């Protein structure tokens, strides 16, 4: 918004020196210019976000070094501007695939180590309960009443994240509670919800074999430990 204000301050003197027009037309022109600048500013933010997120995605799959950025960004720029490539890019497809495979192994091993460390550290926290399938939970509010049975139904609010805090889903964000039978949710939830009563709230940590295992689900990578903040609203 500050940039828009500065630009309009520069443009208005020029408008005053231009051919005279009636006040309504001048106001309309100024309004159009403001709208265009605002729209472009928002698009710039959107495109920046797209670039940032795509950069995150690439770094999840490839081992990047600071020296890699310049040639990588130059290749992107030439492609976007439809310029002729500076080298024979087809000749490097095999090398790219090999780099993906090498990086995938490194990234997978790093994620596995980070997740093992996260699980071990969480288990040490005060009040953590380890369930019989390996899932863990820590109540922050006990709740009152009866807990749902293994084939019962629960209505909850939840937020799900990866161990690095990346949010992949939230009923709170949608402002819409989630209702499901315990037989139709991931095993981690089936066990954890049986330990909770209406009004209870807990942090539930799900090892990958109690969540989605080696299946990628939307933004959730395969073999991911998932962390849920669950609040039980009602049980049946």
User: Tens digits of per-residue pLDDT, 39-88?
Assistant: 888 888 888 888 888 887 777 677 778 888 889 888 988 988 999 999 99
The domain segmentation of the chain, as residue ranges, is 128-235
- Provide the pLDDT confidence category of residue 105 given band limits of 50, 70 and 90: confident
Distance CA 39, CA 87 (A): 37
pLDDT at 157: 97
| pLDDT tens by residue, 22-44 | 444 444 444 555 555 568 888 88
The fold of the 128-235 domain, in CATH, is: Chitinase A; domain 3 (3.10.50)
Q: Which residue numbers are catalytic? A: 158, 168-169, 186, 212, 228
Distance CA 206, CA 211 (A): 6
Distance CA 231, CA 198 (A): 8
* Location of structure tokens 């161990």: 163
pTM over 0.85: no
Any bridge partners for residue 136, and if so which? 130, 205
| pLDDT tens by residue, 133-187 | 999 999 999 999 999 999 999 999 999 999 999 999 999 999 999 999 999 999 9
């Amino acid at each position: 918004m500050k940039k828009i204000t500065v630009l309009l301050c520069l443009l208005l003197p020029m408008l005053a020196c231009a051919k005279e027009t009636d006040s309504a037309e001048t106001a309309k022109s100024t309004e159009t210019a403001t709208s265009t600048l605002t729209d472009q500013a928002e698009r710039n933010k959107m495109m920046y976000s797209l670039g940032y997120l795509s950069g995150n995605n690439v770094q999840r799959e490839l081992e990047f070094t600071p020296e890699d950025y310049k040639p990588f960004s130059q290749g992107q720029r030439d492609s976007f501007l439809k310029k002729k490539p500076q080298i024979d890019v087809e000749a490097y497809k095999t090398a790219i695939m090999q780099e993906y495979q090498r990086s995938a192994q490194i990234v997978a091993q790093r994620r596995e180590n980070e997740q093992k460390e996260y699980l071990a550290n969480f288990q040490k926290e005060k009040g953590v309960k380890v369930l019989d399938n390996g899932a863990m939970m820590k109540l922050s509010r006990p709740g009152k009443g009866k807990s749902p049975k293994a084939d019962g139904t629960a209505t909850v609010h939840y937020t799900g994240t990866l161990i690095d805090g990346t949010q992949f889903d939230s009923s709170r964000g949608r402002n819409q509670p989630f209702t499901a039978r315990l037989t139709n949710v991931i095993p981690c939830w089936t066990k954890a919800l049986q330990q909770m009563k209406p009004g209870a709230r807990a942090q539930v940590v799900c090892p990958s074999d109690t969540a989605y295992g080696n299946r990628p689900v939307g933004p959730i990578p395969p073999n991911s430990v998932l962390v849920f903040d669950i609040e039980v609203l009602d049980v049946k």
